[in-house]
Structure 1
Amino acid sequence: MGRLLHIGALFVIAALSATAALPQCDISVGKGSPATEWNEIFSRNGPGWTGGDTTVSIELPNGDSAFFFSDSFIGEDPQLPGDGSVYLNKNGLRLREPNCLPPICGPKPEVIHYVYNSIVVRSKDGKTVRTLTGPKDKNGYSTSYFKPQGDDPNHMYWLGDPIIVEVGGKKKIWMFLNEWDVARPFDKSFWIKYRSQAIAQMDADTLAIEKIVDLRNKSDESIWGISLWLNEKKELYIYGMRNEGRIEGVKRSTLELANRYKKLYIARVDASKGLDFAADLRNWTAWNGKSFSKRLNDRRSIIPANDSISDELSIRRLTINGKPTFVMVTFDTSVGYSDWKDLYLYSACEPQGPFMTKHFVYRTPTAGQKKLPGMTAAESLQTGMSVYNPHMHPQFTKDGRLLISYNSNLPFGAKPGDSIFADFYRPRFVWVPIAGLATN
């Protein structure tokens, strides 16, 4: 009996030693709750930004925060020709003035003109908010802040993640840009086609665009720059994604099936050598499951094989219980697009993960919602709303709670008339408590 106890004790010690050898960066999370004050901040009626998606943010050197949006509604005066405004009816329902006239849309103003991207800058004290777009075009409409070369109205940049780097002793913002051709409101059907990617360099103080450099030597359609992190050695860690699965009959398959094949990768490059160096994938190394390798095609996913994540997400290094911890926020996308609603947090000790353990933190009430504040009993959206692409904003951490946003929109196939209801298309915000979370 004594010998058996001795052997058993050795097994226990060995198991404990093996466990201790593994990085232990699990987190303890509480139930998320709506961040009402932030929902109100981004229920804006104009002038300026009145709705958009992506919703990534960065704290600027002066303490202000810049929020970067992809497709954006802009409300300005005068309304026509130009951007539509948002107004409240007698019941408090936020409504957009239809404004998309020929030659942009037509012949009926059934839809709202929008720009492909914009920036909203909120002052450190929260007292001022300003919108940045491109200049007005010849028809009086706002244009996108980040624009590819040429005048093709179907050619656009969708925004990735921004990060502050130091170039030549000065602080700059690098922003990943995803280049697409996409249908406009006047097109008969929705379509989208991938082109390439680029990185924009901006002055961190003025947000002026200094240059845009295309990614070079990119061999596939992976989308890089969905999240970024810069370490103390000036190594830029770049998260990317690609649907690797070759699904039989993929055009007939459901999103529930297709999303099971979504993979998350990480690469890195020396940011101290400047943007032109960083934009050349020959200078990148990618995580292959054991180390960072020059062979980018040997990359390995850093999430569990059976998990399905958002097309956009955030990974940030936070201080939790006094130690650096990498935290990822994502929707569970293992169900069809219209049914996405559950937010999860993952954690890891290293930027390359692995992100193995996930914690459910919030179920969005917005998914499937047909009623908006101010609607009468007879009014409703023709289709329930969809939610997607969560991001975290750690510069606003308060009382151990992390601020997270997610986008809301009309689902694919929605009726054009629903676009007049302003609240369908704006970010929603959530506070998520994390035990031991330090203020950023």
Structure 2
Amino acid sequence: MDYYSLKKIFALTTSVLLTSLNLNSEDLKDIYELALLNDPTFKAAEASLRAGKEYKVQGRAGLMPSLSVSGSTTWSEYRLEENLLDEYNSNNHSASLQQPLFRLDRWFQFKQGKSLSKSAEAEFAYQQQETMIRVATSYFNVLYAKDSLSAAKAEVDAIGRQRDQAKKRFEVGLASITEVQDTQAAYDLSIVSKISREAQLDSAKEALTAIIGMETPLLSPLSEDYSTPPPSPIERESWVKRGLANNYQLKAALLSTDAAKHNARASGSGHLPKIDIIGRVTKSTSKQGKFGGFIQNPLFGLESDNRQYAIQVSMPIFAGGAVSSSRRQAYAQYDRSKEQALIAERSVIREIRSNHFNVQTQSANVKARKQALTSANSALEATKIGYEVGTRNVVDLLQAERGLYAAQRDYAKSRYDYIISLLRLNLSVGSLSPEDLYKVSSQMD
């Protein structure tokens, strides 16, 4: 199959995929898998991981033998007053092998490379988890914006009906002009709110598009039956203990500190002797030409072979203070790295406690918002009856309607905030995995 046939098949497949995304709703699992394929931030993290793995290879290379070869060819002529007296061609070929025997600085550089590679792996693991958070946050931002827009549209329709009813009541003398003006003002404000919600939805979709690399498809809503229990275990310090052992940002910081320690020790080894085994083979050939009218060695020339084997010991005595300065600098960087690791540890503890508290708060908040929604609905029905019998005025009715739609938005937001808080708690203790997203995705309509 040629390239153009493959290109047509790929274009057709892509078209079918995009069509299916437009026709069918996509859940959180689908969006996450799209992000893994198209998110540039995640792709950059993958590239950083590949680069970080090379530190170990480069550190190991300093302990391995090094082999080099070189060669040269030279043409020479000797002339006296434009007369050629002699000419010859010489070739030189050499190979050199060097194996470190005692290089303490390179040993510590090897250990530094291992620590840096492990730190890159820990940082990538964190970036994987952070990608899940970004995807989930953008996903639920879109859902919340859609819920808010739906509530805003319903509010416009409801207040529009109240305005029309007030006008009819005014025409038959059952309502004052103030009632008409109040409903008109409320209607105008609801239109403004609807426009704002439309812009919010468009912005949320653009944020998700930037992650998945394509137009935001129709998203599956969260099931009404989704449960929001408090964190388990409820004891906060047990979560802190898990986080100190498993948080990937903290692991990366500790491994970077370990790398800085090895770098300091490598710099501290600068005054120590360095011992290498060296082997070198050199072969030279010289083909001489005319000299005094005679041809000498025209075919084979002169050949020489030279083999050298040595144990080389070198030890720096004085380098203008550069070695001592490098050692002091490396140990200062090590001290800085230790303090940065302490900052990371305290930050992790603070984040775990904060996220644990947020999950507890959001769990209770969802229940409270659900009850508030029920109460707002009951209050609206009671206000409608009161308005019909004359015990409540139109302002009361408008406030009750706005209260209902605000309660709908608040309830929807509380459920999404709970999920993000729970995911962030798992992130802070290093246990967040795609299974957590898939579990949420399984409870979508």
> Which category of TM-score, normalised to the shorter sequence, fits these structures?
under 0.3
Rg comparison, structure with higher value: 2
The structure, 1 or 2, with the larger RCO (C-alpha pairs under 8 Å, 6+ apart) is 2
Q: TM-score of the superposition, structure 2-length normalised?
A: 0.20
Higher helix proportion, which one?
Answer: 2
Higher strand proportion, which one?
Answer: 1
Q: TM-score of the superposition, structure 1-length normalised?
A: 0.20
